[in-house]
């Protein structure tokens, strides 16, 4: 089985924006630069040494809680002289970028109508399926007094909906006290952190989940929304030092492993009493797509939920034909109030005033096609695919946004309309279909490799989320948007129960979550974890189940018995009785569960859930399902999972190489390995012809986890864009291959 994965291990925010950017190093050699170094030993001692012997280098910050390091500023040439210092383990430079284009302008004039249930709104008087964050808060709490750290791209703290709640912050990119979002003069502008912060605690025209929470912003991702893992770790450490109660991490990478550095830092932060909520990733719907830091065992990882929406369809009444359409990003909402004639055109539209223009996908960009139709007076545009499958696209344009709706449809539907319109006039009506809430296709699935944890642990709204951005408001989607809903809910829990531990708050949120399903069957645990969060029930729960997602790990050998300790807390003043439903017998697996037990008032009890597996009676792969715990009339559905022998998870991932800091002729590579393997080879192929070019890297006997090494500049070969084929030789002699794309440039300094 072949899998594609991201080359870069640079920590990248999980945006759902559909635009392409070009990255270029804009740092000048004679400028003062910022770096973060990892060190052996006590950072404070090394700070004194640098201040004594390198007085021209400024030590901006020291880090000793989550990792050992120093943040430095100085002339690049003087910083380079420090490379030989034995206590320096690694150097993490700051890189800036330029963009070819950015997204459309934000919505400046917003109207939000809050009804009795606070869930309905209108945006610019158009029909909209946008979800407002406050809809999640069905409690009387507002997060007052709770300190929430947002590690992201920074924040527009001048936004009228955020200015009141912004308390303080820090910039780990420029190493100063100003965590403002990147603006155009600095490179690719960002808006992600402002959107995330608004979901948590906007308090103006738009309301966040916890509108009275205090926002602490940490800019760890710079221009274009990128930064190193150490910048993220340093931001986590700064947030812990600042005394935040919880941290939101709507960012991640493609490495599905529990021991990636950011995952380790997250676990350490939780150990220090700070809750950390992470986005599960936007690489679904395939399994094994969750990435660090959501892979951290103590992170509260969040998947994305789509809420009920009124989805537009086109209807042709003569033939009783319904045509599915997908509105394009950047277009106006599809809100046609009567039927319109559809006209097919292959060139510049003419005689289309007041009509729907039908166009085939081709070489001309979607925006240009739609703009020609708009200028000719078209009412709307439908672009149909020129190949089989669904079509999604964008017509975003910052300088001259479209004023008409634009949607995509399939090749089959488009050709049907072309044929009909050539014979007779065809008129299309707009109808709407109400969808049900569901798991978003883009939401990354678990489990985690190596330790086989179930991720995500909960789900929350993550599609068409309306929130703040610099200069206004915008809808975005992604698990980046789902995570801050959960962070906001945690703020409500913290206000309601200030004496609860992180484990209690997370346990309450998981215990009371609602698992989703279809036709009486619950969706798989690795899709939704415990299910959709319900803050009010979590605040008032009479039972807290700690770590209710039951992972029995990997089963090897002929027969195995594995036991998981389940801790249950009774939060009431009365004793409570519990019982498990005994699951039906399945070939090769058998559960041993306590039938009836009592937990005394205000006490916790540990019960054992035992699983017996006869491995040879089962096929290889993931086995998952649900156990049911009863407490009077309540039922708690507990997900379980084990991997029999092996599964189709990637054995290697996250290949990356970059110039070694303070070096002109040596490069570093990284590769994450998830299983014991004999060797890994990386070969390069011509990206155009797919012909073999040359060997690149060979790793014999790699270790499980991160493998690092060096490549001499002379061994890189000719510059260019290549297909990199990563081939893994397994211990049984079999081979698995993974493909990605890398670029070797002439100048990488």
Query: Is 30 a residue whose pLDDT tops 80?
Result: no
Active site residue: 250, 292, 331, 480, which one?
A: 480
Q: Is 306 helix (H, G, I), strand (E, B) or coil?
A: strand
Q: Residue 328 — φ and ψ, nearest 5°?
A: -85, 150
CATH number of 310-434: 3.50.30.30
Question: Is 542-644 CATH 2.160.10.10?
Answer: no
61-90 tens-digit pLDDT = 888 888 888 888 888 888 877 877 888 887
Query: Residue 213 CB: number of other CB atoms within 10 A?
Result: 30
- Ranges of CATH 2.60.40.10 domains, the chain: 542-644, 651-744
- Prediction pTM value: 0.84
Give dist(CA 322, CA 617) in Å, integer.
Answer: 48
The mean pLDDT of 171-200, rounded to a whole number, is 94
Mean pLDDT throughout 520-528?
96
| Separation of alpha carbons 529 and 531, rounded Å | 5
Query: Residue holding tokens 């969060």?
Result: 533
Q: Is 547 a catalytic residue?
A: no
Give the pLDDT score at 15. Answer: 37
Structural element, H or E, at residue 700 = strand 692-700
> Phi/psi zone of residue 642: left (φ > 0), alpha (ψ -120 to 50 degrees), beta?
beta
CA distances from 190 to 18, 158, 187, 292, 462 (A): 14, 15, 9, 22, 19
pLDDT 10s digits, 394-446: 898 878 999 999 999 999 999 999 999 998 999 999 998 888 899 998 899 99
Q: Is 92 a catalytic residue?
A: no
Across the range 42-52, mean pLDDT stands at 92
Whether 203 is catalytic? no
Instruction: Report the pLDDT value the prediction gives residue 746, as an integer from 0 to 100.
Output: 66
Span(s) in the chain for CATH 3.50.30.30? 310-434
d(CA 59, CA 30): 19
| H/E segment holding residue 502 | helix 502-511
Report pLDDT digits (tens) over 127-142. 467 899 999 999 999 9
Helix (H, G, I), strand (E, B) or coil at 39: strand
Confidence category of residue 620, pLDDT binned at 50, 70, 90: very high
pLDDT at 645 over 60: yes
Q: Which of 78, 70, 87 is nearest to 36 (CA)?
A: 70
Question: Model confidence over 603-618: pLDDT tens digits?
Answer: 999 999 999 999 999 9
Is pLDDT larger for residue 105 or for residue 474? Answer: 474
Cα distance between residue 397 and residue 381, in whole Å: 16
Any idea which architecture 28-93 has in CATH? 2-Layer Sandwich (3.30)
Where do you find CATH 3.40.50.200 in the chain? 1-27+94-308+436-539
pLDDT score for 512: 98
Q: Which of 34, 68, 121, 152 is catalytic?
A: 152
Average pLDDT value for residue range 520-545: 97
Which fold does the domain 1-27+94-308+436-539 belong to in CATH? Rossmann fold (3.40.50)
Question: Cα(133)–Cα(484) distance, rounded to whole angstroms?
Answer: 9
Return mean pLDDT, the chain.
86
Q: Which alpha helices (H) appear in 110-228, and where do they start and end? A: 192-201
pLDDT number for residue 73: 86
Residue of 184, 263, 174, 255 whose CA lies nearest to 221: 174
Q: Which two tokens stand for residue 705?
A: 């986890």
Highest mean pLDDT among 19-23, 118-122, 153-157, 183-187: 153-157
User: Cβ distance 168 to 160 under 8 Å?
Assistant: no
Confidence grade of residue 106 (pLDDT, cut at 50, 70, 90): low
Whether CATH 1.10.10.10 fits 651-744? no
Predicted confidence (pLDDT) at residue 17 exceeds the cutoff of 50 = no
Taking 70 as the threshold, does the pLDDT of residue 148 lie above it? Answer: yes
pLDDT of residue 294: 93
Candidate list 46, 68, 92, 192, residue with the active-site label: 192
């Amino acid at each position: 089985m072949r899998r594609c994965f991201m080359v870069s291990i640079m920590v990248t925010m999980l945006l759902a924006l559909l635009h392409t950017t070009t990255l270029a190093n804009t740092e000048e050699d004679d400028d003062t630069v910022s770096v973060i170094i990892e060190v052996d030993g006590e950072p404070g001692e090394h700070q004194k040494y640098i201040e004594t012997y390198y007085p021209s280098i400024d030590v901006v910050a020291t880090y000793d809680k989550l990792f050992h390091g120093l943040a430095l500023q100085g002339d690049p040439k003087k910083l380079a002289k420090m490379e030989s210092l034995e206590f320096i383990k690694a150097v993490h430079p700051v890189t800036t970028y330029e963009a070819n284009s950015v997204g459309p302008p934000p919505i400046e004039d917003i109207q939000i109508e809050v009804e009795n249930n606070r869930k309905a709104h209108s945006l610019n008087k158009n029909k909209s399926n946008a979800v407002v964050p406050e809809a999640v808060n069905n409690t009387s709490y507002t997060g007052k007094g709770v300190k929430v750290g947002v590690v992201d791209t920074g924040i527009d703290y001048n936004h009228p909906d955020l200015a009141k709640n912004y308390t303080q912050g820090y910039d780990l990119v420029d190493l100063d006290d100003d965590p403002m979002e990147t603006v155009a003069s600095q490179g690719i502008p960002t808006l992600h952190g402002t959107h995330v912060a608004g979901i948590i605690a906007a308090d103006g025209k738009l309301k966040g989940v916890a509108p009275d929470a205090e926002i602490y912003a940490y800019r760890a991702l710079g221009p274009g929304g990128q930064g190193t893992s150490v910048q993220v770790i340093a931001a986590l450490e700064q947030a812990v030092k600042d005394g935040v109660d919880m941290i939101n991490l709507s960012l991640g990478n493609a490495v599905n492993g529990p021991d990636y550095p950011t995952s380790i830092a997250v676990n350490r932060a939780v150990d220090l009493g700070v809750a950390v909520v992470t986005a599960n990733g936007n690489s679904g719907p395939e399994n094994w797509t969750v990435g660090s830091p959501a892979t951290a065992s103590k992170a509260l990882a969040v998947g994305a939920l789509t809420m009920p929406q009124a989805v537009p369809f086109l209807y042709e009444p003569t033939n009783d034909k319904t045509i599915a359409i997908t509105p394009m990003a950047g277009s106006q909402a599809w809100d046609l109030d009567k039927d319109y004639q559809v006209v097919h055109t292959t060139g510049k539209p003419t005689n289309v005033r007041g009509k729907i223009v039908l166009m085939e996908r081709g070489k001309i960009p979607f925006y240009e096609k739609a703009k020609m139709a708009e200028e000719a007076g078209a009412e709307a545009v439908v672009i149909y695919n020129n190949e089989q499958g669904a079509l999604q696209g964008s017509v975003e344009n910052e300088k001259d946004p479209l004023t008409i709706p634009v949607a995509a449809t399939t090749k089959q539907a488009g050709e049907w309309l072309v044929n009909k319109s050539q014979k007779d006039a065809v008129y299309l009506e707009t109808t709407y279909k109400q969808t049900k809430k569901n798991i978003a296709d883009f939401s990354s699935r678990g489990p985690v490799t190596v330790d086989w944890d179930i991720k995500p642990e909960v789900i929350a709204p993550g599609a068409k989320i309306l929130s703040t951005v610099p200069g206004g408001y915008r809808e975005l989607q992604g698990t980046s948007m789902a995570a801050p809903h959960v962070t906001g809910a945690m703020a409500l829990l913290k206000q309601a129960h200030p004496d609860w531990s992180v484990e209690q708050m997370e346990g309450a949120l998981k215990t009371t979550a609602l698992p989703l399903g279809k036709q009486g069957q619950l969706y798989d645990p690795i899709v939704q974890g415990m299910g959709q969060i319900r803050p009010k029930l979590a605040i008032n729960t009479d039972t807290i189940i700690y770590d209710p997602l039951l992972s029995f790990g990997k089963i090897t050998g002929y027969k195995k018995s594995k036991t998981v300790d389940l801790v249950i807390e009774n939060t009431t003043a009365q004793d409570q009785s519990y019982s498990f439903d005994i699951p039906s017998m399945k070939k090769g697996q058998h559960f041993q569960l306590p039938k009836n037990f009592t937990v005394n008032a205000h006490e916790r009890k540990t019960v054992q859930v035992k699983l017996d597996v006869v491995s040879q009676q089962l096929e290889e792969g993931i086995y998952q399902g649900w156990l049911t715990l009863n407490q009077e009339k309540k039922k708690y559905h507990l997900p379980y999972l084990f991997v029999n022998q092996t599964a189709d998870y990637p054995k290697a991932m996250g290949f990356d190489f970059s110039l070694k800091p303070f070096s002109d002729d040596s490069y570093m590579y990284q590769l994450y390995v998830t299983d014991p393997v004999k060797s890994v080879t990386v070969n390069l192929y011509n990206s155009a012809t797919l012909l073999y070019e040359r060997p690149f890297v060979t790793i014999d006997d790699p270790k499980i986890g991160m493998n690092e090494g060096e490549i001499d500049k002379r061994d890189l070969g000719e510059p260019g864009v290549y297909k990199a084929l990563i081939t893994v030789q397994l211990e049984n002699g079999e081979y698995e291959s993974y493909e990605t794309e890398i670029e070797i440039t002439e100048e990488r300094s």
